[in-house]
Amino acid sequence: MYKILHIEQLVPSIHLFKVEAPEVAKKAQAGQFVVVRLDENGERIPLTFADWDAQEGTVTIIFMEVGTTTHRLARMKAGDFITDFVGPLGVPTHVEKFGTVLCVAGGVGVAPIVPIARALKQNGNKVITIMGARSKNLLFWEDRLKSASDQLIVTTDDGSYGRKALVTEPLKELLESGEKIDRVIAIGPSIMMKFCAATSKPFGVKTIVSLNPIMVDGTGMCGCCRVAVGGVTKFACVEGPDFDGHQVDWNLLAARQRTYTAEEKQSLEQWRCHCGEEK
């Protein structure tokens, strides 16, 4: 049982939880994730690390309310317990002195980008970060991203804050600017990562994305998280979640993410019927 020490609602539907998990906190690295199960009836879902503190023995996860599990999670309070919390899983994001790295953080993707940007800076990289959301009220952790980067560009789809643009526009401009860009790391909704990869491809800049297929165990035993990269099937939970964005079969990822749309709807409706009561 893993105690929830602190919760924060960052923006509508996006929540931050600080969880007591000392063993996991000791080993966590940027780009990795945990698998969470709320209780006996719960499913197992992956959530990336937003932060951790080995001294304190805590791990911070940020999640968006999407389906039953995240809706139920959102109604938990500090002092409650999460039944299962497994990690750190996945291969950590590869960080070395690349030179200049562009980080692109879309929506809830800001959470995993913060520790990655920090690690990149610690390794002597110049870090230029683009963060984007649909509108001002959905932006969070701007201050953290700013202090983790050498330069931060903020965009909103509707122009309510920062520059009115999709994240791919400043990305393209930076790649065209003549400044040597050695790597792009893009994390956010699949469609955003797909378009970031498409944007950087003509420039030949290695682009790393963090794939988010459906998972069950997260340790490589079931193959639920199969993605195709360069025509080869890979298990995202053990060979990823980071992959070369130019090689990913984005259509397959999107299609497989829709496998349980009907069941997810049924489950959420059933939960809503109970008005958020605990089962």
Contacting positions for other proteins (CB under 8 A): 23-24, 27, 37, 41-44, 68-69, 83-89, 216-217, 219-224, 226, 228, 233, 238, 251-252, 255-256, 258-260, 263-264, 266-267, 270, 279
Nearest approach in angstroms of CB 55 to other proteins is 18
Q: How far is the CB of 34 from other proteins (least distance, A)?
A: 9
Cα distance between residue 52 and residue 115, in whole Å: 9
Closest CA to 160 of 135, 130, 133, 131: 135
- Say whether 99 sits in a helix, a strand or coil: coil
* Strand spans (E) along 65-125: 81-82, 84-89, 100-106
Output 48 or 168, the one with its CB closest to other proteins: 48
Q: What is d(CA 136, CA 237) in angstroms, rounded to the nearest whole number?
A: 33
Q: How far is the CB of 93 from other proteins (least distance, A)?
A: 15
Q: How far apart (Å, rounded) are the C-alpha atoms in residues 130 and 219? A: 32
Q: Quick one: 26 or 164, whose CB is closer to other proteins?
A: 26
Tokens of 209: 């994305």
The smaller minimum CB distance to other proteins, of residues 78 and 232, is found at: 232
Q: Which is nearer to other proteins, 33 or 98 (CB)?
A: 33
The nearest distance, CB 88 to other proteins, in angstroms, is: 6
